[in-house]
Amino acid sequence: MAHSRIAAVTGANKGIGFSIVRNLALQYPKSSFNNGSLLIYLTARDQGRGEEALKNIHSDSELKRAKVLAEDGGQTTVRYHQLDISDTKSIDDFGSFLKKEHPNGIDFVINNAAIAMTGFDSNVVQQTLHSNYYGTLEAIEQFLPLIKDGGRLVNVSSMAGKLYKYSDKIRNGFLSAKTVPEITAMMENFKEAVKNGDEKKQGWISAAYAVSKAGVTGMTKAVALQQQQKGSKTLINSCCPGYVATDMTKGGGSRTPDQGAQTPVLLALGDIGGQTGLFWQDERPIEW
């Protein structure tokens, strides 16, 4: 069966990613994008966990009550596909799969997958940036050409990446950057500074996750600008879901995953007035 709309959500086997899948299914029927059936790819790096998440979607009592899934007479079908954003081959394989299965393109991609490691040293920085920044960037480079003009790309970033913590030089570097290579150079500079043990002296903070998310926000802005200059109507934004009670926050967040999913889902399905290249929280653009 051909589907009218195609979506992909990364890091979707639990937490915010899982709730994004749920809320796409719940909110799609009333969305202006609704022009028929919706297929959502719930992706995760571990097949067992991904398939377990898919079972949880199919047995979800709220989705059952709302009758939004195809098996209950609704419009949405959810399928699992393996995707590890820290693995180039995995990203390429999923991109090739999407291209083959959906030659006319896809509509929405929400990049949610990320890691948060404990401790701080050069190895932690290397691994965190490899997944959160470079992995997300590779995913964008693979999936953005597949998104139909007028579709949506959403990168889940974080308030941890806000710029007030940095020196004026670093902050201005982020804010003035207009290209992805400029942001990537800043990530490389941070890695080098940590390796040399002088990141604080150079105006950085000693926090791998926070810097990786500043990179995601900056890179999103640069990609959106690039697409605008090409005349693309695809809207590309980053967002913070808020402090959500998930495994990543060790359950310490004040919001539920469903509450955290609202802004990413708005940016995928909602009327956002054509705004692109912005950083959002609480369903509105905020200062980075």
Comparing C-alpha atoms, which of 22, 41, 151 is closest to residue 94? Answer: 41
> What amino acid is encoded at 115 in this protein?
I
User: Is 164 designated active site?
Assistant: no
Distances (CA, A) of 248 to 18, 115, 135, 244: 14, 8, 18, 9
Q: Which of the following is catalytic: 28, 166, 209, 243?
A: 209
What amino acid positions are annotated as catalytic residues?
209
